[in-house]
Chains A and B, each alone.
Chain A
Amino acid sequence: MRLTAENLSARRGEDLIFKDISFTLGAGESLVLTGRNGSGKSTLLRTVAGLLRPETGRVAWTSDGAEAGMRAAEACHYLGHRNAMKAELSVSENLAFWKDCFGDFSGGRGISVGEAAESVGLGGITHLPFGYLSAGQQRRMAFAKLLVAWRPVWILDEPTAALDVNAESVFTTLIENHLAAGGILLAATHQPLGLQNAQELKMTGFAGVMENVW
């Protein structure tokens, strides 16, 4: 089970944000991206998640059961800046929808909606409309979305923004459990997540304009 990136480069508009990034992550391994604002952390994460087309290079997922040529994105959970939850629907409706839509990836099972809300510490309020929750609570529920369906790779973009210390420790515990279960983590963050033996990749940003094109 391996997530591989080879010679990735990507651009935003005409600017080359990064180039020639390669890494390999096996079961239980994690990679934390650091760097100042605009250094390309989010861009790299979106490229790995298949939401941006890489300028060069490729992202590949290899494991025993996987068919050749499968998109790596299908093995990933992506938690971006936005929570991907509807304010009009209740928390449980939101989570149940995503549970149904995601389906379980081979090699694991998601937990139920109630248990997922319980494990982010908000068990009693799943019947409330998502819009009634505070920003921190919304973020926690968005995190619960990762638990309802199994994906080996978690791609987290600033997961702990808008969270207090207490909730951060809950997140760290959940991430450690995921890694212990053979998961892979790829995260961008300002705050240290408090993970042991995580690899770190420092993004510098702006690798130059596309001078070879024009």
Chain B
Amino acid sequence: MNVHETLDRTWRDPGGFVGWFCAVNHKTIGLRFIATTFVFFAAAGALALVMRLQLARPRNDVIGPDLYNQLFTVHGTTMMFLFAVPVMQAMATYLLPLMLGSRSIAFPRLNAYAYWIYLFGCLMLYAALFCGAGPDAGWFSYVPLAGPDYSPGKRSDFWAQLITFSEMSGLLESIVIIATILKLRAPGMALHRIPLFAWAMLVTSFMVMFAMPSVMFASTALITDRLVGTHFFNPAEGGDALLWQHLFWFFGHPEVYFIFIPALGFMSQIIATFSRRPVVGYAAMVLSLIATAFMSFGLWVHHMFATNLPELGKAFFTAMSLMIALPTALQIFCWLATLATGRLVLKTPLLYVLAFFFILVLGGLSGVMLGMVPLDLQVHDTYFVVAHLHYVLIGGAVFPLIGAIYYWFPKFSGRLLDERVGKLQFWLFFIGFNLTFFPMHLLGLRGMPRRVYTYPAGMGWEGMNLLATVGAFVIALSVVLLVANVVRSVLRGTAAGDNPWGAGSLEWATSSPPSAGNFVHPPVVHGREPLWEPGAQPAVVAGLADDRREVLVTSVIDAQPDHRAIFPTPSPWPFVSAAATTLLFVASIFTPWAVVWASIPVALAVIAWFWPSVRETLAEKLLERSP
């Protein structure tokens, strides 16, 4: 049998019912991850439609305040914690090993575990919502409103535990991604040659590592306040309500950027391919990513200008909030220069990228306004902020993301998405989006606060609210078209070939969809756009076993071959461990002792996960070689 088949059998995930839960291949997990995030994107979008219906008219009573507050809380929580952050990591899980020329992602079982944890977190939140226990204190869950005295029942506990789920998944993914990017690159892909998307994910993952612990700590303190009567946020016993806001926004602001930075990576990949040239100023791009990451930790307080703050602090955080616009501006200018000096291929992915220049720039400018204390004191917590954040997150992340879906779908499925539907869908999305969110700037200035389930007539808000509602349904239509387009091309789309866009990065060097082992002969790299550059020798790696999961590990800086690592095989234990962890998290909402007794199944499952099997060890020892 030929090397193709051997390799495929070595790396394939087992079939069948049980096999389905044992999958560890980064492409399998990646696709499931991406699909799940989009399912919850759609779910949260549906909630938004209900809210827009309620707000279409003054004193409307489609839904009451209790449900409305649950809906906007779950909408925000889902979009931030269950869609925007995970979807970027999901795309990275699928793409990075291919882009970097590796046969696998690092820690494939951990990767699977992170996915299951994420999935169970989603299910818990929506189970809670469907039985009327949806969190209702906002995605930011400010205490004391979310605290023990003012949120009876378990609603806020579900929120706090959802944070534990999603942050745990996010943190594990960040470890997986960092290790993959730093250690599993194709020989020759030194740091100054890795694709800009990989740079973006590397920077993002480091941010995740230092930001997410903050909200995990905060939500733990919240749940202990609620469950066992600690006093972290109880002013009467030396606690402080603002402590929550500091901890939350120390995470919350960087979070915006670890949604945004991966999208910048998509932008760079797509712009390079569709203007037939590398992006102008590679070094500048990388440095601005890093600068953004550092600065994003220095402006959390601009979410708290309306609390009482020392003057000096305000000035500093205003300065930071304005200056962080520069690194992004730098990238935008570099892309413009790239487009201006390239040869443009105006396909759907590029359209989505061009929309970024319109929407994100608007959102960035309204962000500059919000960074200025006096303006913020007027528009803070109004619909102006709703407009701003949707311009930044949808324009800055979702548009590039959908562009990226159009761009990489051929690689995922081997088939192209339909261009005509794609263009139509794009224009619907673009128009619907601006219809929905542009009026909200004005609504905010005209005095409409956020998070109100209704409003009186005669405030001059009716027209713009109705417009926003109409726009929301146009967006919904466009999303339906996107789904239809995907389904259609999965069924009978035109075959894509390996490299339908004539792109330069390595994921296009293998078949579409890639075989289980990614590369029959892992490539060796001699430049930034390997597929665009004239061949240099050696071209490919040889000497890796094809009947064992053997992966080439390279050095961090210059990606010199270092050693051949044996990678783990499919296993049910990541799934079982995730289930056990879920039991622990959910049970501990109801009794603190769950942390003790439920940790036993978790420990057992994890031990079983790591316990080496004799057969695999023997097989491994055949290839063993000491340094």
Real complex partners, A and B? no
Chain A positions near chain B (C-beta within 8 angstroms): none
B residues contacting A by CB (< 8 A) are: none
